[in-house]
Amino acid sequence: MAQLLERSPEIRAAGAGIALVGRGTPPQAHAFREEAGFRGAMYVDPEGKAYAAAGMERATRIRFLRPRVLMAGYRAWRKGFRQTKPSSDPLQLGGTLVLAPGDRIVLAWRNASAEDDAPLDDVLRALRAWAE
């Protein structure tokens, strides 16, 4: 999410906004908002229905022990991010959806592992494509 927020000026320049969906509760979302400084739209999905509808998978525990995941965690730690106690389903993988008017899905990226985020250049290309 930090990388997404770093590029938020480009996202807004493309005429789009950012909305987050999390597996926690409203109080957990509020705490996340305060910690991360995110001011956009946030939704909670404690049961994971939106995740399931979007085809987001759950990871296996062994997938969290891969060297790429550990290195991604180390890079995040060096940037000042700290992992706290999981507040919902720690095995739930996320993703990135770029939605356009008319209920069109312009880009759907489903994370294959914890460190597998959508390439932001692809996200920005998708945003610009539907805006033209």
Of residues 59 and 15, more confidently modeled = 15
Evaluate whether residue 60 is within a structural domain.
yes
122-to-96, 102, 117, 119, 127 alpha-carbon distances in Å: 11, 21, 11, 5, 9
* Residue 88 domain boundaries: 2-125
pLDDT digits (tens, 9 = 90+) for 34-58: 888 888 899 999 999 999 999 998 8
**Global pTM value:** 0.74
Q: Answer whether residue 112 shows pLDDT above 90.
A: no
Evaluate whether residue 37 is within a structural domain.
yes
Q: Answer whether residue 63 shows pLDDT above 70.
A: no
Q: Answer whether residue 95 shows pLDDT above 70.
A: yes
Residue 39: strand, helix, or coil:
coil
pLDDT of residue 61: 62
Evaluate whether residue 132 is within a structural domain.
no
- Number of domains comprising the chain: 1
Evaluate whether residue 117 is within a structural domain.
yes
Across the chain, which distance is largest between two alpha carbons, in Å? 43
